Structure 1
Amino acid sequence: MSAIAKPKVLIVGAGLGGMALGIILHKAKIPFEIYERAAVVKPLGTALSFNATTAAMFKQCGFYDEFLAIAKPWTEVQIGNTQRTIDYKIDFSEQEKLFGATGFIISRPDICDLFSRQIPKEHMHMGKKVVFSEQTEEGVRLSFADGTAAEGDILVGADGAYSTIRQQMYEQLKKEDRLLASDGEPLPFSTICLVGQTKPLDPKDFPSLALPESQVMTILGKGTPYAWSIFTTKKNTVAWAFGEVLGRESSKEGEKNEEWGPGAAEAMCELCRDFPVISGGDKLVTMGDLIDWTPKELITKAMLEEKVFETWYDGRVVLLGDACHKISPAGGAGATNAIHDAIAVANWIYALPPSPTKNDIEKYFAEYKKERLPLVKGAYESSRMFMTISSKSYLEWVAAFCFKNMPAWMNRKLLAGMLAYRPMVAFLPDPEDKGTVPPSPQHSLEARRIVKERMEAASRA
């Protein structure tokens, strides 16, 4: 496609999904702009896990080695108890052999910084709160709170669980009686979480920091609605999360405002201060120690919403990541699936004909949903399986029994279900994959054939 014929993509949201899409579009020389409502990206959150399913894209885009330099490998999840002993482990040690890359833990601020450095600064626009979005047969338009506007050909909503783009798209669909009833319901959650990350620590205070692999550990508060997790990072910090299972399904719309005021995080901090943490040494570390080692401004309270929406696109507008599927972090699938979405969306945008019409764009967005929705639903179910570990019900016992007694062949089958889909960018050279389990089919790689046939037809004309 000529430079004039390529569609201009407006991306709302500078989270990992939005930035991943920007990185790939930049490689394709497809014009794009990213708009983020926050004036600056705050270093909030805990740690994220990445695995073989994102390694291909990282390699293709040229920053895998940089990622390895700041991430710490991990091969198992340890489930502990309040007596500071390990009850059982969930084994991921065969990941590299089977799928060509191992798993890694990296703090959220570090991965966000890595992604942002892959995008030319002139394409990142901070402090841009969308107040109105619209589409026509000819294009899309964004209006911002600061009085400015932006126009393009495609609008991507990558702006999180409470996506403004999704809400405005759904409002229009509802007016036209085209919105599914389930998509109009509030986003539910049954767990609230306190998260943070310590300053760099001396391994003498937290000995497991000295181990070559990240210690990924969840401790269950028996007889309580609480569970808490830690993740050691390459920077000698401990990322942590403390969760409370509410025992009921709620929504942001149904919660009282005072429950989410300035003192909410402080109240949860006091609640969990005495809870034990396994540090890898003789020192009796508690959640209170982790909290004291964490800058107060970096401790936040969050809701762990769970929902897969059915409506992902309309005309020139498409959603990705948390904007169309909010998956519990229990299985570590939220960020990776946002990146998978970005790969598929970018591939189909690459496949669009020159000067695409609204119908052309919607047709390819339907292909994107066709590829991704079944996989997202599978990730959603996997995350719920991991959530049963701390469900405080008989399912917790069942999950523990299964993981403790799982034979090796079943563990490999479980991993294959989670990690066989290893998507690639269609227009970049395939990376080397030494895994013994080949990648599962990726529908959006059809973009290669579509573009090749179009170029051949043009050369014959």
Structure 2
Amino acid sequence: MSASGSSQRIAPSVLIIGAGLGGIMLAILLEKMGDVDYFILERSSSPKPLGSAMSLTPSIQVLFEQLGMLEDLQKISLPFLAAKVFDDKLNCTGEIVYEDQAKVIFPRPDLFNLLLSKVPKNRIAWGKRVLKLEEDTENAKDKVLVTCGDNTEFTADVVVGADGVYSSARQNIYKVMSDKGILPKVDKEPLNVGFTCMVGLTGTMDPEKYTELKDDVAHFRSVVGGARHNWGCVNMPQNRFTWQLNLQYLDEKEAKRQQFMNSEWGPESNREMIDQFKDLPNPFGGKMSDFIDATPSELVSKVFLEHKLFKTWHYGRTVLIGDACHKFLPAGGNGAVTAFQDAVILANCLYDLEDKSAKSVKAAFQSYYEQRYPMAEKVYQMSGVLSKVISGRAWHDRLVRWLAMTILPQSIQKRQYVKEVAYRPQVMFLPVVDSPDMVPALPQKPCKRYVRETREKEALEKKNAKAQAVRRDSAVKGGETAVAV
């Protein structure tokens, strides 16, 4: 159903801070909504398609089908059926099977470019580092005033912080709440210590040397090495590989140093870290340096991975999505999925807005929070457990990994998968995708506006059908009279 069907609606203006995957997805949804004036502010001076392998389950592929992008997604993807774990001698120590679960895996840069291509260029301003958010009720007519580092200013009815774990939007609203003494204690605590990660996407590789490139499925191979080194690789479409290097279990002093150095995805020259991994065995043959050297420097990036679930997701006219309000460890591959789910539910709540008043905006944000926080909390807990299962080093982590990958029945793995797939929220202002071959979806909170417009449309169709029937009967009677005469 088109959003333009509601003549009474006064649509809000929306300012999205951050052109990451979550921010761009929200922009695509607002573009589809049709009546919302939106704009993206991104602090990078140009697009930076960085990252390694990403996977999506059918639970989020439904969204791409709604948007008419499922075929585009499949073109950059491979089916993802299993993940193998090796020791540093490349002995296989276990396997997680995803068979018949329709997962797909692809390079993050390819997905970024795909999503970005769907947003009009005039809807994004690059090189805009947001410094300050103010709800200037006198000068901005009850809007949020956003000031950037180059002294440009923007106003909007709604501001969405989609600017990552070090979110400027979150820091601004948290400062206001802290000054007022209303910020929860948990939100004042630092991010939990994670690990340093370097990733890359190779150029074209020789399929005769790496025969797995000829397969029509992805081979995910992860190595839990000695000391604190973990690494892994996955074959990708177009004869490429993604790779990942992890330095785990940093002490507190080193963790703080890495946090300071690596606050953002971005290509960096870090020979010290590369030197620690370059001579380690590549699970596809040879050494890791073979893939590292085959990767263009602009496609190598390094980041310090942390994890935290923030309690506060919105304040005033500002709301957070993605890493800005929940940061997960990457083992479960849930970062982008949850950001997309945030975007779907927030878009539905913005679609439901009847006016731009502060009261209505707050109610919309609260509805978004109530729908998303419990699910994000489950993912946060699961990603922490899965990270230990896949790469934990303590003796009990190794025991759990062995049990999970060798003893645990696949039926239990599939049961967990069913729970994940059952939660697949859809956009309420686009045709709903029917998935009879999938497990039943969990009930989704309906949009009041969607329900009202659906009823109005059905009533109009019924009225038109009745009018057509009357005209038909009149025509038949008129014909009978003519014959009689």
Query: Scaled by the length of structure 2, what TM-score is found?
Result: 0.86
Counterpart code for 1:199:
G
CA separation in 2, counterparts of 1:21 and 1:313? 16
Q: RMSD of aligned C-alpha atoms?
A: 2.4
1:116-143 CA-to-partner distances (Å, cap 9, x unmatched) read: 1111111111111112111245211211
Structure 1 position 78 matched with structure 2 position 84: yes
Alignment of 1:273-422 (within 5 A): 273-279=278-284, 284-353=285-354, 355-388=355-388, 389-393=390-394, 394-422=396-424
Are the structure 2 counterparts of residues 268 and 360 from structure 1 closer, same or farther at C-alpha, using a change threshold of 3 Å? same
Runs of 4+ deviating beyond 6 Å:
258-264, 453-457
- Larger mean CA deviation between 252-261 and 164-173 belongs to 252-261
Which is greater in Rg? 2
Q: Give the C-alpha shift of residue 183 in structure 1.
A: 0.5
Counterpart in the other structure of 1:225: 228
Counterpart in the other structure of 1:142: 146
Q: Give the C-alpha shift of residue 27 in structure 1.
A: 0.5
Counterpart in the other structure of 1:27: 32
Counterpart code for 2:304:
M
CA separation in 2, counterparts of 1:263 and 1:358? 43
- 5+ residue gaps in structure 2? 1-5, 460-485
CA separation in 2, counterparts of 1:324 and 1:259? 19
Counterpart in the other structure of 1:196: 200
Counterpart in the other structure of 1:113: 113
Are the structure 2 counterparts of residues 152 and 303 from structure 1 closer, same or farther at C-alpha, using a change threshold of 3 Å? same
Are the structure 2 counterparts of residues 47 and 255 from structure 1 closer, same or farther at C-alpha, using a change threshold of 3 Å? closer
- Larger mean CA deviation between 386-395 and 445-454 belongs to 445-454
Structure 1 position 68 matched with structure 2 position 65: no
CA separation in 1, counterparts of 2:327 and 2:253? 15
Q: Give the C-alpha shift of residue 376 in structure 1.
A: 0.8
- 5+ residue gaps in structure 1? 96-101
Counterpart in the other structure of 2:243: 240
Higher relative contact order (CA 8 A, sep 6+): 1
Contact 2:262/2:303, CA 8 A, preserved across alignment: no
Are the structure 2 counterparts of residues 43 and 184 from structure 1 closer, same or farther at C-alpha, using a change threshold of 3 Å? same
CA separation in 2, counterparts of 1:162 and 1:435? 40
Counterpart in the other structure of 2:59: 53
Determine helix, strand or coil for the equivalent of 1:246: coil
Contact 2:194/2:305, CA 8 A, preserved across alignment: yes
Q: Give the C-alpha shift of residue 357 in structure 1.
A: 0.9
Q: Give the C-alpha shift of residue 161 in structure 1.
A: 0.6
Alignment of 1:35-46 (within 5 A): 35-46=41-52
Query: Scaled by the length of structure 1, what TM-score is found?
Result: 0.91
- Quote the sequence identity (%): 32
Q: Give the C-alpha shift of residue 186 in structure 1.
A: 2.0
CA separation in 1, counterparts of 2:11 and 2:123? 16
Q: Give the C-alpha shift of residue 386 in structure 1.
A: 1.8
Contact 1:11/1:32, CA 8 A, preserved across alignment: yes
Counterpart in the other structure of 2:468: none
Contact 2:268/2:300, CA 8 A, preserved across alignment: no
CA separation in 1, counterparts of 2:196 and 2:259? 14
Contact 2:267/2:299, CA 8 A, preserved across alignment: no
Q: Give the C-alpha shift of residue 274 in structure 1.
A: 1.5
Counterpart in the other structure of 1:99: none
Counterpart code for 2:189:
E
Counterpart code for 1:409:
S
- Larger mean CA deviation between 130-139 and 260-269 belongs to 260-269
Determine helix, strand or coil for the equivalent of 2:131: strand
* Candidates 155, 158, 161, aligned match of 1:151: 155
Counterpart code for 2:442:
S
Q: Give the C-alpha shift of residue 455 in structure 1.
A: 9.2
Contact 2:49/2:113, CA 8 A, preserved across alignment: no
CA separation in 2, counterparts of 1:187 and 1:175? 21
Are the structure 2 counterparts of residues 380 and 76 from structure 1 closer, same or farther at C-alpha, using a change threshold of 3 Å? same
Counterpart code for 1:227:
N
1:8-58 CA-to-partner distances (Å, cap 9, x unmatched) read: 110000001001100011101122111111111123221211111211111
